[in-house]
Amino acid sequence: MFRLIARLALAFVAVGLLVAPFGSARAAEGGTSLYIPGSGGDIIAAFSPEPGLQVSNAVFVQTGSVDAAVLQGLVDLGLDVDIVLDIMGAAYTFETPVLGGTYTVGVAVPFGGVDLSATATGPLGGSISASGDTFALADIAFVPFQLNWSFEKFHVKVAQAVFAPTGDYDLSSRINLGRNYWAFDTAMAFTWFDPAMGSEISVIPGILFNTRNKATDYKTGTELHVDFTANQFLSPTFAVGLRGYYYKQLTGDSGSGAVLGDFKSESLGLGPGFVWIPAFAGGKLTVVGKTLHDLFADNRFESDYFSLGAAWKF
């Protein structure tokens, strides 16, 4: 039963790297990033999924604040942000093995709303208040390949996500869900899972490479992110555990638009999570939820995060 649960829960894993519009607050341009904390997975992150189609939908909520960030070439001080995103995902795992592992492709389409307030200081020293909200499409993410290998209790995953600048973006507005540049997230996952004990530990490191926003001449530096998950099944259909993430900007921001300099950031967050595979759905439905709280955050939004999602395996 635990093996079935693990395979069905992978409906989230194939698209876990993908979600990532304005709301995943970081340093970098606008104090944000394309990486969402905890998005690496909630259960058996590296387990090889069963062949076939998996679809998912998740709601992501963030509330945070940061002392300073650059939005559309202006320095904004005292920013507060509230984000609600809905992220629709789909993944397909092929029957034919590739390099001895299972091969999966996926896509995630995020849309939602942002409410932002700030004080902006212009180039001549004048100050204006900036507040407002938007509801729009964010940047769509594609996974051209994900490969999984399983070795008894140990499992490994390699995945590549590509973020396309499809989100709503207006240079005259400082509230945008789109980032207006391409980015590439290369990630791995390592899982130890003992079905007899119902215990799991997963670590999911990744490197996010960003291209330049040509509209603002701002290039966000390379970002390291590490998600980690620990679960204990209390029954064959219900597990609870710890979720967390660590983020560090490896290289500084650059370009004429990076008026605050390299603006590197670092942060760490922890929180509880759960997994539920309701018996009435015959093992096809998986529900996951978690909350994360930033223990510290340098040069980025210090935030609280909440997410709730469901996945269906056809």
Among residues 134, 132, 114, 141, the alpha carbon closest in space to that of 19 is found at: 141
Q: Token digits for 211?
A: 């291209």
Sorted by where each starts, the structural domains of the chain and their CATH numbers stand as 2-305 (2.40.128)
219-236 per-position pLDDT tens digit: 889 999 999 999 999 999
Confidence tier at 114 by pLDDT (50, 70, 90): confident
**Strand partners for 109:** 88
CA–CA distance, 289 with 116 (Å, rounded to integer): 25
70-97 per-position pLDDT tens digit: 454 444 456 777 889 999 999 999 999 9
Q: How far is CA 19 from CA 108, 141, 297, in A?
A: 6, 7, 21
25-83 per-position pLDDT tens digit: 334 555 668 899 988 889 889 999 999 999 999 999 998 776 655 454 444 456 777 88
Largest CA distance in the chain: 66
pTM: 0.83
Cβ atoms 243, 270 nearer than 8 A: yes
253-263 per-position pLDDT tens digit: 888 877 766 77
